[in-house]
Structure 1
Amino acid sequence: MAAQRRAGPGGGERRRPAGGKARAGGTAPGRGWALRGAAPGAALLGSAVLVGGLLGWSLPGGRQGGAEVLARGSEAVRDRFVEVACSGDYGAGRRFEGCTPRKCGRGVTDAVITREEAERIRRIAERGLSFGGSDGGASILDLHSGALSMGKHFVNLYRYFGDKIQDIFTEEDFALYRDVRRRIQEKIAQTFGISSSAMYLTKPTFFSRINSTEAKTTHDEYWHPHIDKVTYGSFDYTSLLYLSDYAEDFGGGRFVFMDEGSNKTIEPRAGRVSFFTSGSENLHRVEKVRWGTRYAITISFTCNPEHSIGDPVLT
């Protein structure tokens, strides 16, 4: 049977340095990724592409090339958080008790998802993306809507493969995906002092694969600075789970917070989760990938149940 969504409650590659691990592929969705060939009304897909004083949070990890490095790929980060002043993006609309940000910032942790789990999750992305992929350097796979990059467009994976979808994915794959999403949601709630049950998964939530292939359409231009809550009005909290290693699997591709006077970077590491409030206080971009392949999942949350989506399931 085909996979279905459960209704919600509301240029050439540069040769890698010697000694690095080789993996195939490449993405992080960029500004303006419109779904073509997927379900009608499917959302625009965009950025990749997720407090101070709390016990156990450490200080940022140093500076590199004039930018502050919040987390290096070579270090294991237990819990790290930087609080920033909230923008006015959360005051114009409805406020949701127990969820709407009253404290804003950005966090990173290597203590929520193991590297082994990240390897298993990456294999889900690799299998799905092996049936498609963008002509340019950025490809996506959305298990919720079925959107899969295919050439210069998108197809609906579930319509395209029908009952054969179970030859690609297993229920164990989807169960791991749901469990990882739940743990990330709980970590965000704990960090920001909100209720996990008051947060809802929202779209777009997707796998990304980036390599150094030249962009063929605007869908491949993932590197533009953007604000998630401006691009997608429903976003309140954004998270990214990295599935490959900076400087080992790929070069470039760091996540950059663009603050006045100084950029703050996160170097991806398999199993690392970065998360942040989605408003203008966290303008960000992804550096261009220079070589290799960068895998990640963007998992987004809203406080508004009207914008919620359900976890993907095989039925």
Structure 2
Amino acid sequence: KSRKHKEKGLEGLLEGEKTSKEDESSKESTSGKGSTEEKFGPMPSFPRQRFWTRMVLILGTLVIVYITSGKERIVNFAKSKEIVNGRMQDIKCSKEYFEEVYDFPGCVPVKCGRFVSDILITNEEADLLLDIAKRGLAHGGSDGGASILDLHTGALSKGKNFVSLYQVNPNVFSSQDFAVYVRVRKKVQKAVALSFDIKPEKLFLTKPSFFSRLTSNDPATPHDEYWHSHVDKETYPSFHYTSLVYLNDYESEYTGGRFIFDDPDNVSTVIEPKKGRVSIFSSGKENLHHVERVKSGTRFAITVSFTCNKKFAISDPFL
């Protein structure tokens, strides 16, 4: 009986302390609220306050994402002032490209991508090729900003059309000129094979392979609008690998004219041309690209294209 009495007494004491603390806490809370309201006035509120606060935060985030997603991001793959021994960027092959090239064993790349080197050809070879381009193009030239010369067929831009250079001047080139071209072509073909881990004997020169001269002149025909984005495989179905040999220097001899890959997420991957620089890439949708419009001066280059399909092979030029 005494023990029960003590337990009841203890429960009562604890109950009293608990009630006392709750009262004190309630007073402090009321006192604090009152002092805040007295100092700053009643806190503002409006219907569905939490909902609208969240909506403002979400809209703010969307605005930031929209603004930043519209900005172009520049990636310099090869600057003209640097010397690139060999630089490779692997990218995933497009489905269409891989399915087509898969039919040609020994010519299937381990990965698609792009490659740049400044040590494949010599300055002397670049100078000789530039001389060939200038001598040939001197017999024609587009009315617009893009002129081409195909050493294999003799096709030459003239005015708004094409003429045969070998009919205009059959002796414009020598066997030594063609020998330089073939030597460079073989070097580039070997580099394509090494870059994509394919067999060089499974790779064939294809058309068109040509010299190009680009200027800032306004276009005279749609062919002069060289700055539009395109996929080589769609423009030239025989292409599987594209290469470019640049024959003069960006900035010192012309402005504009940079080679730009139009990559996903608004990324522009840029190659600045320079004399003797070679760029190589798989020709499928994975390498959508364009050439920046030349702003001043004259840009010279050669496109040397390769196919895995022997039926589209062409022979080297000869006298």
Q: Indicate the residue corresponding to 1:158 in structure 2.
A: 166
Which range moves more in the overlay, 97-106 or 74-83?
97-106
Whichever residue aligns with residue 204 of structure 1, its letter is: P
Q: Deviations over 1:70-101 (max 9, x none)?
A: 00001110000000001012344461111133
Q: Is the 2:109–2:197 contact (alpha carbons within 8 Å) kept by the matching residues of 1? A: no
Output one character per residue of 1:36-79: Cα deviation in whole Å (capped at 9) or x when no partner.
xxxxxxxxxxxxxxxxxxxxxxxxxxxxx841010000111000
Partner of 2:238: 234
- Among candidates 146, 158, 169, match of residue 138 of structure 1: 146
What do residues 218-246 of structure 1 show as CA deviations (whole Å, max 9, x unaligned)? 11011110001111111110000000101
Cα distance in structure 1, aligned partners of 2:96 and 2:200: 21
Distance 2:166 2:96 in 1: 36
- State the Cα deviation string for residues 103-128 of structure 1 (Å, max 9, x = none): 10000000101122101110000000
Matched to 2:269, the amino acid is K
Partner of 1:86: 93
**Offset of 1:146 from its aligned partner?**
1.1
1:199 aligns with 2:203: yes
2:286 to 270, 274, 281: 281
**TM-score between both structures, scaled by the size of structure 2:** 0.75
Pick 1 or 2: higher relative contact order, CA cutoff 8 A, min separation 6. 1
Which among 223, 227, 238 is matched to residue 227 of structure 2?
A: 223
The correspondence of residues 232-311 of structure 1 with structure 2, limited to 5 A, is: 232-261=236-265, 262-311=267-316
Q: Which has more helix, going by share of residues?
A: 2
Instruction: Select 1:70's aligned residue among 77, 80, 98.
Output: 77
AA in 1 matched with 2:160: K
Maintained 8 Å contact 1:125/1:207: yes
Cα-to-partner distance string for 1:192-243 (whole Å, 9 max, x where unaligned): 1101110000011000000111111111011110001111111110000000
CA RMSD between the two structures? 1.1
Q: Offset of 1:302 from its aligned partner?
A: 0.2
Alpha-carbon offset, residue 102 of structure 1? 3.7
Structure 2 residue runs of 5 or longer lacking an equivalent are 1-71
Gaps of at least 5 residues in structure 1 are 1-64
Q: Is the 8 A contact 1:181 1:299 kept in 2?
A: yes
2:125 is matched with which residue? 117
Deviation at 1:269, TM superposition (A): 0.4
**In the alignment, is the contact (CA less than 8 A) between 1:129 and 1:148 conserved in 2?**
yes
Q: Which residue of 2 aligns with 1:104?
A: 112
Q: Deviations over 1:137-181 (max 9, x none)?
A: 1100001111000011001112333xxx22x21111100000000
Q: Which has the larger radius of gyration?
A: 2
| Distance of 2:199 and 2:304 partners within structure 1 | 17
Distance across 1 between alignment mates of 2:95 and 2:248: 34
Give 3-state SS (helix, strand or coil) of 1:312's partner.
coil
Cα distance in 2 for residues equivalent to 1:293 and 1:235: 27
TM-score normalised by structure 1 residue count: 0.76
1: CA distance, partners of 2:240 / 2:250? 27
**Amino acid in structure 2 at the alignment position of 1:260:** P
Which of 185, 190, 204 is 1:186 aligned to?
A: 190
Equivalent position SS for 1:69: strand
Identity %: 53
